[in-house]
């Protein structure tokens, strides 16, 4: 599940205020739980800036059903990769409450996996994610 797609649909009524960010992640967590309860493996890609919101989603699922994967990348590298120009707009103050620029990001304290996307290519990172879910016997070779 992709954050931009969810923001345009299910969470299209939300802003980027701290309260709406919490509600965005709450809705995503509830949606993911429904999929997991149906036996579907769900991979999500969302900016979840607050630890409490990530803890809330983790609490919805059983042990071994939630893996926090922190994709770390310095903001300057993100800005270089930004094809939409959103970092430039955030730095100019056009976009408010932008995570890592004008809004906080609370780094995970104990993620199951850290991917340094500025040092590791996407294929290697994906292989590490697959290895993680294999280790928990969610999928098998």
By annotation, the residues acting in catalysis are 48
Are the CB atoms for 46 and 3 separated by under 8 Å? Answer: yes
């Amino acid at each position: 599940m992709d954050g931009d797609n969810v923001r345009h649909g299910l969470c299209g009524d939300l802003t980027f205020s701290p309260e709406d960010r919490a509600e965005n992640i709450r809705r995503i967590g509830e949606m993911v739980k429904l999929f997991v309860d149906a036996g579907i493996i769900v991979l999500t890609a969302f900016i979840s800036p607050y630890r409490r919101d990530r803890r809330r989603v983790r609490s919805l699922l059983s042990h071994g059903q939630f893996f926090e994967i922190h994709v770390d990348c310095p903001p300057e590298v993100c800005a270089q990769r930004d094809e939409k120009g959103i970092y430039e707009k955030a730095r100019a103050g056009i976009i408010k409450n932008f995570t890592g620029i004008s809004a906080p990001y609370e780094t995970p304290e104990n993620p199951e996996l850290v991917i340094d996307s500025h040092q590791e290519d996407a294929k290697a990172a994906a292989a590490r994610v697959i290895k993680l879910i294999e280790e928990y016997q969610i999928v098998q070779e």
